[in-house]
Structure 1
Amino acid sequence: MPGELLSHAKLVRSFGEENGIDELAQAYVTDADNLEALGWELAGAMVRICNALGAYRSPRGEGGGLYLTIKTINWVG
């Protein structure tokens, strides 16, 4: 991925490392009882740390989830 797309992810990882939050510092989280709830918790942390407007989870089949942060909102058309 292009570096400009990863800058916020790096910021969140650094925050996790500095504050001892393993879930934010690791590349993957696998040992959780409810990955859906944890995904939303981590997305919420990223929204707060990166001063985003919100988060979105894309619909996916089996095998994980993709959480995106929303940084700006504009009218179209």
Structure 2
Amino acid sequence: MAISKSAKIMAEIEKVKAKISEQQAKVKELEQRHREAENEEIVDIVRGMSISLSDLPAVLQSMKAGTLGQSVPKSEIPEKEDAAE
């Protein structure tokens, strides 16, 4: 007996679903590898800064607040006037 047209289509659907599932698993694996690579890069950068483990939280907080390396708060820096004025 010949395979019906709808059965062929259903077989193709199942084949595509299997490929999609395989690709989704591959994406998850690649995302995990990407995260691990980023984490390794971060660790290398921090180690290269020669910051003690006890000082690291304060440095990161300063960076987050945007105050690292600034001697004058942003609000006190005079704005440059336009040349047209």
Which protein has greater RCO, CA pairs closer than 8 Å, 6+ apart?
Answer: 1
Q: TM-score, normalised by structure 1?
A: 0.26
Structure whose CA Rg is larger: 2
Larger helix proportion, structure 1 or 2?
A: 2
Hey, which of these two has a bigger chunk of strand by percent?
1
